[in-house]
Structure 1
Amino acid sequence: MTIMLRRYSWIAVLGLLFSTAGCDSLAIRFAPEKTADPAPTSLSKQAKDLFWEALHGGHYDRLPEVRRLLTAAYLENPRNPEISLLLAHAHLWTIAERTRLADVPPGITDHAILAEKYFTEAHRLNPGDDRIPGWLGGVKLALGQIHRDERLTREGYFMLHDAIRAFPEFNDFSAGYVLSSKPRDDDKFREGLDDMWDNLDRCAGERIDRMNPDYRKYLAQETQSGPKRVCWNSRIAPHNFEGFFLNMGDMLMKNGQPAVAGRIYAIATLSKSYASWPYRSLLEARLTQAEPRARLFQAADPTPHPEIMFNSAHACTACHAQ
């Protein structure tokens, strides 16, 4: 009898534990979703203004104050999607242009973790912005490589593919840019270059000649509305056009195609705002040094490889500084 009572007691305890666990699961499952509240405040306006002032001015040195203000604005209202997005970009900019620092600390990689956090929040609060998965996928891909986490690497890679399907005019570049850092003989690097060509095709509305690209006839298509608005310069990215062709030319140079790279670089000079682009001297130097740069990329040891836009001191500002 005593043994049976003990048995039933254990059954009761186990039943209670399972029911409690079930309640926990249900409580979590049916918790209210975090929803957006974009209501501006004086602090959020100050933080946003400082972010754009720093980015458009190329003031990397102001990032600590930018991050401080944006973090304060986020904590004031963690449901503001724009603040979450800008805070993600502030952390991404910090790690992307880290070569500006005289001494790059090991903890610089923590900014990628924080960028992932706030891009995730921004996407959660504004799921209709199809640009965000492109940025988030790229950050996840980078984090997977930093931490040697193959699952996270694959998650980021396939998120980029989903992002391309949702908004190819924007996310073909997002994917191609991230993959430009791969070794030139890596299939993913070639895939990234294909993404860049696909991006050009979509912006032009037809297939661009891969050996003799001529973009002059498409300049009349410039627009500030619709999906193709991201193919051109804008208030947010005053030199988006020039930066795109600087990066693509770098990728072609790395791929051992200096002649085609030169033609792609030259397209950047067609921009109406080319004369005011802070990085035009970099592009012009690449045009005059095409053959030597291409030869350096052929070295098996990557140490002498020339700089490309990705991971440079102008990884973000080549498009955004004015």
Structure 2
Amino acid sequence: MKKQLLIVFALVTVWGCSTIIPPFAPKKTGKLSQSAVAMEADKYFWDNFHRGNYDSIPQMLDKLTAAYLDNNEDYRLAAHIGFTHSWALAESGRMDQPSPRVTDHATLAVKYFDEAFVLHPDKEWRYYGFMVSMYMAEGGIHGNMQDMTEGYFKMKKAARKYPEFNLFTAAYTLAMSPRKKDREAAVNMLWENLDKCAGEKVDRKNLDYRKYLSRKTVEGKQSTCWNTWIAPHNMEGFLMILGDLLLKRRDYATALRVYENAKYFQEYKHWDYQKHLDARIDYATAIATQQEYTEIEVMKFDRCMVCHQDSKMKSAPDNVHLQLPSMNVADHY
């Protein structure tokens, strides 16, 4: 009996401490590290990410994680670990022998994006959007509809906070769904994303993005509407994804016009995925003129690299971790 009373006393004590101690525990705050290991890890991340070196992911994770463990208040390191895990999962089809354990990247991406969002002094809503997309992916992997539904509503919150970026993140997540309803929602989100970037409702049937090119900026939230050093082919990739979804719904004429818009950006001549776009244009043209339908695989390309890869870009500067280089991608060829 005495032993039982001691156990009860211990449990009550632990419970009491757990309700008293946390409010007094020091709060972890975020800051960028100036250490050499952080600088080297981030430069390695950007150089290999921009070049599409998927095989370098294990080394990227080793360097970034080692730097983070020494500087665990650094939100940028945490975010880049999250990005690398996301890339590993999104393009896992590139592996010669994919392992079922590749799905673990979703869980780790959620963890590090959440950490980056909490640590960021200004609450970077792009990190939140990526975190939620990986949370939804994790829910899908485990067949957990409750998590997927919760993630969907969190994603709507992310889109309200930063529509220029997170409308695309939400759309891209839904675009991979086998359900037609989800893919239709993705199309609507991508059109709305273009509206936010253009400053008006764009013409859905006759898109001509040349009239909006003067709006380009490399600062603030609107910078995510354009090609920048971070995503040197952001718009070409965006428009190919939208075109693919239109093609999948058999709206060939609109898909063709959307595809053609990808060529209006000056960085297009450096884009590694021109041949993918050309193949789609040839296919959509043939279908539109012959009125015949045969299945084509759409949304089948290196998912992250279609916007981020540019093998012709100069290497990242040594101090890239502390201050990103000029966001004007034209400055880096």
Note whether the superposition's TM-score is higher than 0.5. yes
Q: Pick which of 23-32 and 259-268 moved more.
A: 23-32
**CA deviations over 1:4-32 (Å, ceiling 9, x no partner):** xx9xx999986774354122222134322
Match of 1:315 in 2: 303
Alignment of 1:224-243 (within 5 A): 224-243=218-237
Unaligned runs of 5+ in 1: 1-5, 298-304
TM-score (norm 2): 0.86
Which of 265, 268, 274 pairs up with 2:268? 274
Q: How does 1:1-322 map to 2 (within 5 A)?
A: 17-126=11-120, 128-183=123-178, 185=180, 187-290=181-284, 295-297=293-295, 306-309=297-300, 312=301, 314-322=302-310
Question: Which segments of structure 1 move beyond 6 Å, counting only runs of 4 or more?
Answer: 9-13
Q: Partners of 2:63 and 2:225 in 1: how far apart?
A: 31
With 24-33 and 139-148 compared, the bigger mean Cα shift is at 24-33
Q: TM-score, normalised by structure 1?
A: 0.89
1:225-257 deviation per Cα after TM superposition (whole angstroms, max 9, x unaligned): 222111101011111111111111111111221
Indicate the structure (1 or 2) with the bigger Cα radius of gyration. 1
Distance 2:143 2:24 in 1: 35
Query: What amino acid maps onto 1:134 in structure 2?
Result: G
Mapped contact 1:137–1:155 kept (Cα < 8 A): no
Of all paired residues, the percent bearing the same amino acid is: 37
Write out per-residue CA displacement over residues 21-78 of structure 1, whole angstroms, 9 at most, x where no aligned residue.
1222221343222211312211111110011000111111111111110111111111
CA contact (8 A) 1:184 1:255 kept: no
The one-letter amino acid of 1:39's match is: S
* Secondary structure of 1:67's aligned partner: helix
Paired amino acid for 1:243: G
- How many residues of Structure 1 are paired with residues of Structure 2 in the alignment? 305
The separation in 2 between residues aligned to 1:89 and 1:234, in whole angstroms, is 17
Q: Which runs of 5+ in 2 are unaligned?
A: 311-333
- 2:185 counterpart SS class: helix
Distance 1:243 1:201 in 2: 17
Distance in 2, Cα, partners of 1:50 & 1:211: 43
Equivalent AA in structure 1 for residue 26 of structure 2? P
- Offset at 1:277? 0.6
How big is the alpha-carbon RMSD for the aligned residues of Structure 1 and Structure 2? 2.2
CA distance in 2 between counterparts of 1:258 and 1:68 reads: 45
Deviates most, 213-222 or 32-41: 32-41
Using CA pairs below 8 Å that are at least 6 residues apart, which structure has the higher relative contact order?
2
1:31–1:276 CA distance, 2 compared to 1 (3 A) = same
* 1:49–1:20 CA distance, 2 compared to 1 (3 A): closer
